[in-house]
Chains A and B, each alone.
Chain A
Amino acid sequence: MEKNSLSIKTIVAIGIGAAVFVILGRFASIPTGIPNTTIETSYAFLALMATIFGPIAGGLIGLIGHALKDAVFYGAIWWSWVIVSAFVGLFIGLFAKRLNVESGIAGSRQIVTFNIVQAAVQAVGWFLLAPILDVAIYAEPANKVYLQGIVAGLSNIVTVGVIGTILYVYYAKTRSQSDSLAKE
């Protein structure tokens, strides 16, 4: 691994990650039946990428991916939530680094840590940051944006908890385990 924080691999991971985030956000979000609430599979992917490639990649995938998705499919960028996406990617990456997913070990300890990290980061992001920014930037009614934030936050925490965990375990399985060699 290079010491430079922006290795070529990170740059490519940001680019491709943002593109996948756009596509998942547009095509692979499942309506739950509650209005305006969808299961956003893209956040499970964001959590995985942040865990693998670290905070800079996570934050930039959230930022670029979300801004591009809004821009090319909806024509208007909802900045407050774009910032929250960047925040979620950045902080999951920051805390999940110690999981060391590259070691290929995904036991219950790692899974629990991964989920505590993602739930805590997303709770701060969606329950606090998103409504505050909505009120500050768009001057929307506070009770509306807090409810939207809580609903989106809960649904995203559950989504990352289920799909993100599956992705995490599968990815760890594709790495060769660091303790896979035994002395004969």
Chain B
Amino acid sequence: MAVEMLSYIERESPVHRLSGVTKLVIFMMWSTAAMLTYDTRVLLFLFAASIAIFIVSKVKLRDIAFVLIFILIFLLLNNIAIYIFSPQEGVNIYGTSHVLFDIAGRYNVTIEQLFYQFNITLKYFVVIPAALLFIVTTHPSEFAASLNRMGVNYKIAYSVSLALRYIPDIQRDFRMIAQSQQARGIDLSRNEKLVKRVKNAAAIIMPLIFSSLERIETISNAMELRGFGKKKKRTWYSTKAFRHADYLTLFIGLAILVVSLYITFHDGDRFYNPFC
């Protein structure tokens, strides 16, 4: 079961050349803007902009297709769930009700509800390209360095870098343990009943967890011997210096954030209401 995960993709593009700090700040500002706003005009603009950045970054659609499919399925299910639980949410928010057709009881289809769910979906389409791009264009060790440059304690930045470094190793351990337990007849598939399945899962996660605890011991001894954490600061092997492009990008990002927040909140409402 080869499960793909997102990781750094080496390409030559303007987005790759930006410093990790810039990309992290932009990613955070972008997410904040998308999280706070429900203004359709702002969302559409951000969506168009993220598509444009995506094209500039030279990341191919098929590099990330597996994640996209997953997200689209999730969004579809989420939309269905929202409709089932709250078919009148849109009417509540926008205050008017333009019924298209009735289904049963309180389940009718209104333009307001469709518009509300369109906005929710659009919010994801704004955040997703930014998150994907950040992961795919930033080298993990540069990511740790950027966290540190932004003021995160370097010890915590280092533990993020450790996590990224060890995810593939632990994944390999997990697979090895799972396979050897399966060779002993421990079944993890859905052929087993739920209780048995939980027990069998425990037979796999126990060795994984206890070998990881040992790994913690080994790594911390090695770091201790090399004098990690003796000084207040440290340098990083992979930091990129700030260049003009970085300042320019940060400036544009900040401008977009401020403008989008202004448009969203100047009338005292997160939602853009085209119905009144």
Q: Contact residues of A with B, CB < 8 Å?
A: 6, 8-9, 11-20, 22-24, 26-28, 30-33, 36, 39, 41, 44-45, 48, 52, 60, 64-65, 68, 71-77, 79, 137-144, 147, 162-163, 166-167, 170-171, 174
B164 x A32 contact (CB < 8 A) = no
Known contacts being A26-B3, A76-B124, A79-B35, is A71 close to B131, with CB within 8 Å? yes
| Contact partners of B5 in chain A: CB under 8 A | 72-73
A30 x B223 contact (CB < 8 A) = no
B115 to chain A, nearest CB (A): 13
Interface residue SS majority, chain A: helix
| Contact partners of A141 in chain B: CB under 8 A | 82, 85-86, 89
**Does B245 sit at the interface, judged by CB under 8 A?**
no
Bound form: Cα–Cα A15–B170 in Å: 12
Q: Mark B185-229, 1 if CB is under 8 A from A, else 0.
A: 000001000100110011011101110110111011001100011
Residue pairs across A and B with Cβ atoms less than 8 A apart, 5 shown, are A8-B229, A19-B170, A28-B201, A140-B82, A163-B201
B6 x A72 contact (CB < 8 A) = yes
Within 8 A of A (CB), among B57-112: 64, 67-68, 70-71, 74, 77, 81-82, 85-86, 89, 93
Q: Which of A19, A71, A74, A170 has the most CB of B within 10 A?
A: A19
Q: How many residues of chain B get a CB closer than 8 Å to chain A's CBs?
A: 70
Bound form: Cα–Cα A38–B265 in Å: 38
Interface residue SS majority, chain B: helix
| Contact partners of B89 in chain A: CB under 8 A | 141
B198 x A19 contact (CB < 8 A) = no
Q: Contact residues of B with A, CB < 8 Å?
A: 3, 5-7, 31, 35, 38, 64, 67-68, 70-71, 74, 77, 81-82, 85-86, 89, 93, 120, 123-124, 127-128, 131-132, 135, 153, 155-156, 158-167, 169-171, 174, 178, 190, 194, 197-198, 201-202, 204-206, 208-210, 212-213, 215-217, 219-220, 223-224, 228-229, 270
Q: Which of B35, B123, B167 has the most CB of A within 10 A?
A: B167
Among residues of A, the one whose C-beta sits closest to the C-beta of B154 is A11
B163 x A11 contact (CB < 8 A) = no
